[in-house]
């Protein structure tokens, strides 16, 4: 008689399946990923993954949602540290860079793949929105508490775009050792910080 799976068993298997699917998607790309390959890597029957997910597109949405949530977890923890608003804002930027360097597979899943057209997934949409909010919440705090002046949404997107561009260039090896990543990031923060900082009367 087959063993009855507990909720823990199911959750553990889904976690293992998603972790493995993440690696395969990033290493091989969506066109070279299929459920049979996933089952073989898991050491289960070809039909087993279908008990948990409808198809590979649903798996891609699930693992991208996991990546966005892992990203948001780290940025939210950075935002919650004790300290002044500038210290908290700096911690968020540092967490972004740390995640990109240490969690490159998740980082690629978030930004190198798109949602399947015509198949919106609420779980993924919520995860993306949560991650996006982490990149503007710290700026909103800086504006509300008088450190920055301007539209928090606009400033947040400019900071995010610039930070992301520097990190992606580094990961792609395009900086070619001409300049240290962290020196470049410090200069970026200095320039943009000065651009939006509230000027005090002389």
Measured in degrees and rounded to the nearest 5, phi and psi for residue 93 equal: -60, -40
Decide: 163 and 97 in contact? Cβ < 8 Å. yes
| Confidence at residue 121, expressed as pLDDT on a 0 to 100 scale | 78
Domain 1-53 and domain 64-196 have a common topology: no
> Which H/E stretch holds residue 77?
helix 56-79
The secondary structure of 17-46 as a DSSP string is: HHHHHHHHHHHH-GGG--HHHHHHHHTS-T
Name the residue ranges covered by the structural domains of the chain.
1-53, 64-196
CATH T-level assignment (fold) for domain 64-196: Tetracycline Repressor; domain 2 (1.10.357)
- Give the residue from 61, 54, 47 showing the smallest Cα distance to 18: 61
Q: Which two tokens stand for residue 196?
A: 């939006």
CATH number corresponding to 1-53: 1.10.10.60
Q: Is 103 helix (H, G, I), strand (E, B) or coil?
A: coil
Residue 200: pLDDT band with limits 50, 70, 90: low
Q: What is the pLDDT of residues 18-35, one digit of tens each?
A: 999 988 888 888 788 888
Average pLDDT on 146-172 reads: 93
CA distance 78 to 151: 22
CA distance 65 to 59: 10
């Amino acid at each position: 008689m087959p063993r009855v799976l507990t909720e823990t068993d199911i959750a553990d298997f889904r976690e293992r399946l998603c972790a493995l699917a993440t690696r395969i998607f990033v290493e091989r790309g969506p066109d070279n990923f299929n459920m049979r390959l996933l089952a073989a890597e898991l050491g289960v029957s070809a039909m087993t993954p279908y008990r948990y997910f409808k198809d590979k597109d649903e798996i891609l949405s699930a693992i991208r949602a996991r990546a966005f949530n892992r990203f948001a977890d780290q940025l939210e923890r950075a935002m919650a540290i004790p300290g002044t608003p500038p210290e908290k804002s700096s911690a968020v930027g540092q967490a972004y860079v740390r995640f990109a360097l240490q969690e490159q597979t998740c980082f690629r899943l978030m930004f190198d793949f798109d949602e399947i057209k015509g198949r919106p997934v609420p779980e993924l949409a919520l995860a993306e929105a949560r991650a996006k909010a982490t990149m503007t919440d710290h700026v909103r705090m800086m504006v509300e508490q008088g450190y920055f002046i301007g539209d928090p949404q606009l400033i947040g997107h400019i900071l995010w775009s610039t930070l992301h561009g520097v990190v992606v260039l580094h990961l792609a090896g395009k900086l070619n050792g001409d300049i240290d990543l962290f020196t470049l990031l410090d200069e970026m923060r200095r320039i943009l910080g000065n651009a939006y900082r509230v000027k005090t009367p002389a």
